[in-house]
A = this chain, B = another copy of it.
């Protein structure tokens, strides 16, 4: 399984709006086992996204889904900066 751990800095004041856009419709992505959006309590505008996919190919393919492309377009103006980006090899766990 392919994992991602990443962070974004939202435009000031827009973090929750960006989180809601990222969360809308994440249920239906083929090959997506986990997609979690969280706020950093110590950095006002930072969001953390952690994802688990069947494979890196499944993640890549998701970026072409019309609803994901629409979410990216809607969210992009609310992103101030990209932060962490780590790819992982998921061994296993609860909630997959």
Q: Which residues of A contact B (CB under 8 A)?
A: 3, 5, 16, 19-20, 23, 26-27, 29, 32-41, 48, 50, 52, 86-96
* SS of A interface (majority): strand
- Distance in Å: Cβ of A28 to nearest Cβ of chain B: 9
Further pairs besides A5-B48, A34-B34, A34-B36: 20, Cβ < 8 Å: A3-B38, A23-B92, A23-B93, A29-B94, A32-B94, A36-B50, A36-B52, A36-B90, A37-B91, A37-B92, A38-B88, A38-B89, A38-B90, A39-B89, A40-B89, A41-B87, A48-B86, A48-B88, A52-B95, A95-B96
What residues on B are CB-neighbors of A38 within 8 Å? 3, 52, 88-91
